[in-house]
Amino acid sequence: MASRNLDDLHPALQPLAHAFLARCQDAGVTPLITCTWRSGAEQDALYAQGRSAPGPRVTNARAGQSAHNFTLNGQPAARAFDVVPLVAGKPQWDAGHPHWQIMGRIGTELGLNWYGRPGAPFREFPHFELVKGIA
């Protein structure tokens, strides 16, 4: 099962993730981290969706290509986290909900690459990632 533990994030991402969560709360958004690190097998299962397995395509990355699979010294050190806003205690997956834009603005202000932004190579609203070249 994929991790939701912030300790499984890259050391450069951990303080940004904590700041992201705090700023979201301050803005009236309740974020739920749905994934930090995931194994190669979990990544390949996601990659299969919409291809050789039922369901919509949710990633273009195979095992080892995802920022969620990154390790340091053999330990999880994901360079990305996925998040969903909770509304009345329930996940709000509708990308048109205004909480997504608030979270996107906060993540971008913190210097994160938000894959929900217009022009992202693969629009994935829940995905926030360290920019290339950091650590």
| Residue-wise pLDDT tens digits, 8-40 | 999 999 999 999 999 999 999 999 999 999 999
End-to-end CA distance of the chain: 26
Residue 42: inside a domain: no
Chain segment 44-70, per-residue pLDDT in tens: 999 999 999 999 998 889 999 999 999
Does a structural domain hold residue 51?
Answer: no
Q: Specify the CATH number for the domain of residue 25.
A: 3.30.1380.10
Q: Is residue 47 part of a domain?
A: no
Q: Pairing state of beta strands 80-87 and 127-129? A: antiparallel
Q: Give one DSSP letter per residue of 21-47, joined into a string.
A: HHHHHHTT-EEEEEES---HHHHHHHH
Domain count, the chain: 1
To the question of pTM greater than 0.85 for the whole model, the response is: yes
Contact partners, residue 118, CB within 8 Å, separation at least 6: none
Which residues constitute the domain of residue 98?
6-37+69-129
Does some domain include residue 58? no
Question: What is the largest distance, in Å, between two alpha-carbon atoms of the chain?
Answer: 42
Fill in the DSSP letter of residue 13: T
Q: Is residue 92 part of a domain?
A: yes
For residue 52, tell me if it sits in a domain. no
Contact (CB, 8 A) for 62 and 52 = no
Q: What is the mean pLDDT of residues 75-103?
A: 97
Contact 12, 80 (CB under 8 A): no
